[in-house]
Amino acid sequence: MTTPLPVLDTRTISMRWGDMDAVGHLNNTYYFRYLEQVRIEWLQGMGFGIEPDGIGPVLASTSCTYRKQLTYPATLDITIELEKLGAAA
């Protein structure tokens, strides 16, 4: 049995027509763009950003498991969960 990860935030994004690829589903790179958008909005909402000296939050690793294709129109609920918190990767 695994312990559920704490949910930090959930945001909704609407897929845009231009985010589709040639075969009519969401281009794989846009999943990461959507995740980035939600992550940055969440951090900015807490008062974090990139400081003038270049110090800011760092992602040590990212991955995506595609469960099904998305076609336009679609609405995505993106949830931010805490997996690990540490000073170094």
CA–centroid distance for 5 within its chain: 16
* pLDDT tens-digit series, residues 28-39: 999 999 999 999
Strands of the chain, DSSP E: 7-14, 75-81
Q: According to the model, what pLDDT value does residue 4 have?
A: 72
**7-49+57-81, CATH topology level:** Thiol Ester Dehydrase; Chain A (3.10.129)
Domain boundaries, the chain: 7-49+57-81
Name, in order, each residue with C-beta under 8 angstroms of 16's C-beta and a sequence gap of 6 or more: 72
* pLDDT tens-digit series, residues 3-57: 777 888 999 999 999 999 999 999 999 999 999 999 989 988 888 877 777 777 7
